[in-house]
Amino acid sequence: MTGLLQALLELDGYVVRVVPHGDRVLVEALNFKPDAILMDVHLAGADGMEVLRALRQTPELTGLPVIMTSGMDMEEQCKAAGADHFLLKPYPPDALTAMLQRVLA
């Protein structure tokens, strides 16, 4: 799924960096300085909600838009933990690109 999303977003002109292990998200965000993060609640090697909280507690990442996604409706929990937006899976690729356009405008 990650590879498909990466290909679709790159076709739309986005530069995409995939972080395969959740315990590396914070370090990669600090090093790469992304314009936004798309992150699943369920990550390999980490709890996405804990990673989200860590991102929000990191001063260098203040204001970084985070879009959380899950196959379960966890919008309220994600927003309470600091997410800016939430996408319920499965979502059509155009819903993601539309959200990214709004977030990055």
| pTM metric for this prediction | 0.94
Give the CA-trace dihedral at 71, 39, 75, 63, to 10 degrees: -170
pLDDT tens per residue, range 20-31? 999 999 999 999
Sequence ranges of the domains in the chain? 8-91
To which CATH superfamily is domain 8-91 assigned?
A: Response regulator (3.40.50.2300)
Distance, CA of 35 to CA of 99 (rounded, Å):
13
pLDDT score of 86 more than 90: yes
> What pLDDT is recorded for position 6?
94
Q: Is the pLDDT of residue 93 over 90?
A: no
Beta bridge pairs of residue 88: 70
Pull the structure tokens for residue 10.
């790159």
Give the whole-angstrom CA distance, residue 9 versus residue 22. 20
Chain-centre distance for alpha carbon 43:
11
Task: Sort strands 42-43 and 85-88 into parallel, antiparallel or unpaired.
Answer: unpaired
